[in-house]
Structure formats: C-alpha cells, structure tokens
Amino acid sequence: MQQSSNENDNKHRKNMQKLQWLRLSVQLIFLAILIGGLYKFVKPAFVVILPLAFLAGNFFCGWLCPFGTAQEVLGKIGSIFMRKKFKVSPNIQRYLQFSRYILAAIVFAHIADSLFDLSSINAYKPFMRAMSGNLAQTAATFIMLSFLVVALFFERPFCNYFCPEGIKFGLASLTRFLSIKRNAETCINCKCCDRACPMNIEVSKGNHVRNAQCINCFKCIAACPKRGTLTYDRVNPLDSLKK
C-alpha cells in the first residue's frame, strides 16, 4: 500500500516536472520570437488570451510574456549563487501588491504629465522595444536593466509591483472558473507552496486561489509534497475572494 502511494507520488512529481519544462519551452519560444523581431506578428493572437483569463486565469504573464520570462531566467541564474531568495513578508505584501494599480491609476488620470514622466519606470515596453532592435530612452532602459538585475535576487520584481500589463489579466482572472484548489484535509501546512510562488501568494491560507497576482505558473502544485492536495480544477466564481 505504502509502495503504491510512493509510486503515485513519484509519478505526480514527474508529471509536474514535465509541465514546468513545457511552460519553460513556451516561454523561451516567445522570447526567441521577440528577439527575432517577429513579436508584432504574433501579438494580435493574444486577443484570445484576455477572454481566456476570465475562464481559466492569467496564462499570459506566466507562460507568454517575454519580460516575465527574462526575469524568471535571471532568477534561475541567481539561484545558482543564492540558496534563498529575498521575499517580502506577507504583512507587507498585502499592501505592496497594490502598487501597480496605484501606478496605473496615476498614469490613467494623466497626473504623470503634470508631475513627472512615469513612463520611464515602465520596464515592460522599453524591454519590448529594446529586444526588437529599437533602443528606448536612456532612463527607461537603465530602469529596465535594473529590474533584470534585481530579478537575480528577488522573484519577478517588476511583475509583482509595477507591471501595467498584468493588471488587466489579473483583474480578468478574478472571475475564473478554473483555479488552483487546496484540499485542507490532506494539507500538512508545510508552506512549500507559499515559498514556491513567485508572486508571493499565500496559497496555504485558502481553499482555492482567486488572487489577481496569480500567473498560473503551477509552481505551487509542483512544490507540494502531498499528491492531490493542490490541483488545478473547477471552482465557483461566485465564492468570496480568497487568497
């Protein structure tokens, strides 16, 4: 009985490892498309990604975004030299995660035009322009590179607190019918899922993830030592928001 359980656990871990390799392959393909100057030809296809977020969550940020991929690759390089990455405490994260919404509101209200140019700290668009062969302005390029350097020590810094692209996909995902579910009965409260999450979501605190920060990377499921405790499955979109 125990042997059968161990075999199932090993099979589950191997399947999740394959999923992570698949995700990395997709990420690198879209990064290569961007470097090859072909991103503008595939970008119109992303029109289906936003409606998908309403049903299945945010796949753009976790699977397709080239700048997110660049941060993640540098994060893996940083892990070679650092066993433990810097992470914001849950109490601070609870408030700091709204920084990108505040920034977006300021830009939307055109307050930036009268105060200072906030476009210089939007690393996403300069990254796209620079990788496509068009150099961005010096200040914006410097800040873009700064985010990439920080990514060596901190998981997805731009995605977590500054990305305006992530806002629309994140908010759309709040209505998702498919999400990461947690079985409280089999959970051993080891917090492996919390530590694995690059977006600092406390997966272990709720019955399912309905958080605008979630990018569907499924690292939490891959990190869970108890097979079947975390799954990607159907949820009730009318439930109250839970982390």
Per-residue pLDDT, averaged over 77-101, amounts to 82
What is the pLDDT at residue 27? Answer: 94
What does the pLDDT look like over 14-56, one tens digit per residue? 888 899 999 999 999 999 998 888 888 887 777 888 899 999 9
The reply to whether 19 falls in a domain is yes
Do the domain assignments include residue 129?
yes
Q: Is residue 83 part of a domain?
A: yes
DSSP assignment of 79-114 equals HHH-SS-B---HHHHHHHTTHHHHHHHHHHTTHHHH
Is there a domain that residue 54 lies in? yes
Containing H/E element for 230? strand 230-234
Residue at 38 is within a domain = yes
207-243 per-position pLDDT tens digit: 999 899 999 999 999 999 888 899 999 988 776 444 4
Phi, psi of 194 (to 5 degrees): -65, -45
Is residue 185 in some structural domain? no
User: 14 is in which domain, residue-wise?
Assistant: 2-171
243/2: higher pLDDT: 2
Structure-derived torsion over alpha carbons of residues 121, 31, 65, 75, reported in degrees to the nearest 10:
-70
For residue 120, is it within any domain? Answer: yes
Return mean pLDDT, the chain.
83
Percent of the chain predicted with pLDDT > 70: 82
Residue 75 lies in a domain: yes
Number of domains in the chain: 1
Give the pLDDT confidence score for residue 241 in this predicted structure: 47
Mean pLDDT score, 187-208: 93
Contact 215, 61 (CB under 8 A): yes
